[in-house]
Amino acid sequence: MTITDTQTADAAGTADLAYRLSGVTKTYRQKGREVTALTGVDIDIAQGEFVTIQGSTGGGKSTFLQVLGALERPTAGRVMLGGTDIATASNARLGALRAHEIGFVFQGFNLIPTLTAAENVDMGLEPLGIPRVDRDARVVEALAHVGLAERGDHRPGELSGGQQQRVAIARAIAKRPRVLLADEPTGNLDERMRDEILTLLQGLNDDGLTLVVVTHDSAVARRATRRLRLERGTVRDITR
């Protein structure tokens, strides 16, 4: 098989995948010693899946999400997102992936307190280079999608925790990403707000968005189509 044939076969094999991880290992130097966060991870995540990742503290969950988000390169192995290998892509290409194809939602919301909800959503669109009128339309659309059409002029301090997380989700989906990565997105919320955010995320998944969510909450994990457990750098599928 020629190089071209191999590339064609690889593309065909990953056409319906959001991610393909092959032999992914991640190590760090910490206080003079080597720490292994991920060990030989092999896993495919299909387009449109809702995947949760559970595990004990220090088991590698956040590192796993950072690798998927092109925030960290693996020490060894391949991380394919579409046709790009995160392990070997240029820094410019990784920046473009984060800007265009990956949405991020965090436990702490990460909103700028001096900006309105609409301005916070718009911040996620700045790197895309789209015309101002299109940016404005996307901001309005995204806030409406998360049920905050009337709160665009409110600053984070004027919003509840659940509303702030909705703004963060709006910021992530306004750029129309390929995947949405969330790190404990309901961790700072009470049960009612947790369920509201979870219903919102599940609705996005029903519309075809791929979700990968790190969570300690079994109520969140039960909503997923696939459940992974990450312990000592190793991933197990615990869906059944």
Model confidence at 46, in pLDDT bands (50, 70, 90)?
very high
For 162-192, how does the pLDDT look when each residue is reduced to its tens digit (9 = 90+)? 999 999 999 999 999 999 999 999 888 889 9
DSSP string, 152-208: TT--GGGS-HHHHHHHHHHHHHTT--SEEEEESTTTTS-HHHHHHHHHHHHHHHHTT
Per-residue pLDDT averaged across 23-38, rounded?
Answer: 88
Strand partners for 43: 21
Cβ–Cβ contacts within 10 Å for residue 56, how many?
A: 12
Amino acid found at 236: R
In the numeric block, which tokens belong to residue 230?
């990450």
For 81-99, how does the pLDDT look when each residue is reduced to its tens digit (9 = 90+)? 988 999 999 999 999 999 9
pTM of the model: 0.89
Residue 6 has pLDDT above 50, yes or no: no
Model confidence at 9, in pLDDT bands (50, 70, 90)?
very low
For 100-151, how does the pLDDT look when each residue is reduced to its tens digit (9 = 90+)? 999 999 888 899 999 999 999 999 998 898 999 999 999 999 999 999 999 9
| Sequence-separated (6 or more) residues with CB below 8 Å from residue 203 | none
Per-residue pLDDT averaged across 217-222, rounded?
Answer: 89
Query: In the 8-state DSSP scheme, what is residue 86?
Result: T
In the numeric block, which tokens belong to residue 33?
């010693």
Per-residue pLDDT averaged across 35-41, rounded?
Answer: 92
Q: Would you call 85 helix, strand, or coil by DSSP?
A: strand
Q: Where are any strands of DSSP class E within 75-140?
A: 76-81, 84-85, 102-106
Query: In the 8-state DSSP scheme, what is residue 128?
Result: G
C-alpha pair distances (Å), 224 with each of 140, 147, 190, 198, 205: 28, 22, 20, 10, 10
C-alpha pair distances (Å), 161 with each of 33, 145, 171: 39, 17, 15
Q: What is the pLDDT of residue 33?
A: 86
